[in-house]
């Protein structure tokens, strides 16, 4: 009976201590940047460093239907100021009215134009 008791205690201890040896995982936060000019304040730079930020979601431009045409509005300026330590994820805001009365072929064409615009920004 005592051997079984010691075996159970040993297995329980082994199981409990196995959780102590795991490495602490580091976490990071990502942020959105939703202005038309990229310029980080000292406080924003400090927050990016403090939260170990690796990715920054940056609003590149808006897509909106005006009159009978679809256009790109509010294109971001100053992207060259983005630190090399950040991975930029482009964000595009597209209004609902952009898709009203738009055929499937025109949706594909719009997607291609947006992709080209992102590449050139």
pLDDT tens for residues 1-28?
Answer: 677 666 677 666 666 666 665 566 667 7
Partner residues linked to 32 by β-bridges: 57
CA 67 to chain centre: 33
- pLDDT of 18 reads 64
**Integer CA distances (angstroms), 94 to 34, 98, 114, in order:** 14, 7, 10
CA 67/CA 97 separation, integer angstroms: 11
Task: Give 61-114 pLDDT, tens digit per residue.
Answer: 999 998 889 999 999 999 888 888 899 999 999 999 999 988 999 999 999 999
**28 Rama class: left (phi>0) / alpha (psi -120 to 50) / beta:** beta
């Amino acid at each position: 009976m005592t051997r079984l008791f010691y075996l159970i205690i040993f297995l329980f201890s082994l199981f409990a201590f196995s959780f102590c040896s795991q490495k602490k995982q580091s976490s990071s936060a990502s942020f959105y940047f939703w202005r038309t000019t990229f310029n980080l304040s000292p406080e924003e730079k400090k927050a990016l460093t403090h939260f170990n930020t690796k990715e920054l979601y940056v609003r590149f431009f808006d897509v909106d239907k005006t009159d009978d045409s679809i256009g790109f509005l509010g294109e971001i300026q100053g992207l060259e100021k983005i630190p090399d330590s950040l991975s930029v994820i482009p964000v595009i805001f597209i209004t609902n009215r952009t898709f009203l009365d738009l055929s499937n072929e025109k949706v594909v064409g719009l997607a291609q134009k947006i992709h080209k615009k992102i590449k050139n920004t």
